[in-house]
Amino acid sequence: MPVRDIFELDIPILGICYGMQLLAHFLNGKVDNSAKREYGQATLEILDDNDLFCGLNGSTSVWMSHGDALQKIPDGFEVIAKTSNSPIAAIRSFNKKIYGVQFHPEVHHSVDGIVILENFLRNICKCKEKWDEKSIINTQIEKIRETVGNSKVICALSGGVDSTVAAVLLHKAIGEQLHCIHIDTGLMRKNESNIILKLFKENFNIPIEVIDGSIPFLSRLRGISEPETKRKIIGNTFIELFEEAAKRIDGVKFLAQGTLYPDVIESVSVKGPSATIKSHHNVGGLPEKMNLKLIEPFRELFKDEVRAVGRELDIPEWFIERHPFPGPGLAIRIIGEISEEKLEVLREADDIFIQEIKNSGIYNAIWQAFVVLLSVKSVGVMGDERTYENVAAIRAVTSTDGMTADWFEFPYNVLKRISNRIINEVHGINRVVYDISSKPPSTIEWE
């Protein structure tokens, strides 16, 4: 069906950000470069609160991410909200029940975003809520059993929340047909593999095969500094090792991963002008020809939804609340070329950072926190000696789904303690800086 025809179906439509621009384009409005780009928090002034903005008191804080904007609304539409930078921040055709908003109500940092979406879905579309953790689990178990049949499945178990919840769900669905494989890439956090093995042994009684892949990963990454090239190398190496492992197991036809919806959005460019932000090793890094078929039970879910599923599956709360850790590991937290020496420096700094966050009782208030080893060195003085060592950037953000994020406002005394410990205890770092950029326009990870 041509996109234009969607607007003639006589069904409620909500265009979000690019979606509003798209509907305006097809309905004879005008979209052009905005005089002022708008990223991050903005105050929305509501001009009409009868339906989409029902229950809001004249204004709300929303999250923007756009460089283009509507210059002219389509015929039959009216402006129902604006911001200081966007005189057309929301539009409506009441008769056709077509709405458009320039901001992102679906993200955590739009304060009343849930109210706006509920107004659209429940009051305008008359939808009934049927989603919950149990329904997701039951639906996926049925789907997995139907897809797999009597075949065996290997699960790429990184040890993060996503792959762990996926593994427990798969084991519940197919039991001994599941074979979990954890690859120690040499790019892991301090003691990461040991934590994973202990968790699965003590809590789930699910056996794990551990593969030491540090030699192929580090040798292939040697001399590589371009971020996308790193990701592609890591993705292809993962698949090669999994395929080799699969050959040793009779009847394996499927590879299971903990891919989430944000991974897909950031990795895949749909037809049109949207861009690939970064490839994920379990999405964009896959080779075109694979001997295994993919199972991705959480491909349409966000991180907070996967955590809810994990709680329903009785995964320990301390693990469910662990911060996300990227599949490519520390490779994308070292800017530039990777070496074993840099990896060791980064591991120690990152471990201290997380220790101090936990000691301060603020770990669960932060969505993700980590250290980045920069590709620059700075002059310092330690005792009577001049030093010329690495700069470390610390990053801590608040979010719920990773699609948007804002930097965490540390108490100064905590920042001071973190900086002092890293510089004093980690040989090779003499300066610590704090990243205070939001997503967008920055990403959470640096590469």
Please pick, among 38, 66, 104, 108, the residue that the annotation labels catalytic.
Answer: 104
Distance CA 127, CA 62 (A): 24
Tell me which residue of 300, 290, 207 sits closest to 253, measured CA to CA.
Answer: 290
Collapsed DSSP state (helix, strand, coil) of residue 16: strand
- Which helix (H) or strand (E) element contains residue 183? strand 178-184
Please pick, among 106, 133, 240, 243, the residue that the annotation labels catalytic.
Answer: 106
What does the radius of gyration of the chain's CA atoms come to, in whole angstroms? 24
Query: Residue 416: CB partners within 8 Å, gap ≥ 6?
Result: none
Helices (H), 313-391: 317-320, 340-359
Q: What is the DSSP pairing of strand 13-16 with strand 385-398?
A: unpaired
The question of whether 106 is a catalytic residue gets the answer: yes
Distance CA 158, CA 367 (A): 19
Distance CA 429, CA 382 (A): 11
- Which helix (H) or strand (E) element contains residue 170? helix 161-174
Provide the 10 A C-beta neighbour count for residue 49: 15
Phi, psi of 223 (to 5 degrees): 85, 0
Provide the 10 A C-beta neighbour count for residue 58: 10
The question of whether 17 is a catalytic residue gets the answer: yes
Q: Please give the single-letter amino acid code of residue 90.
A: A
The answer to whether the CB of 193 falls within 8 A of the CB of 159 is yes
Q: Which residue has the tokens 């108490």?
A: 411
The question of whether 25 is a catalytic residue gets the answer: no
Q: Which residue has the tokens 């509501």?
A: 46
The residues assigned a catalytic role are: 17, 104, 106
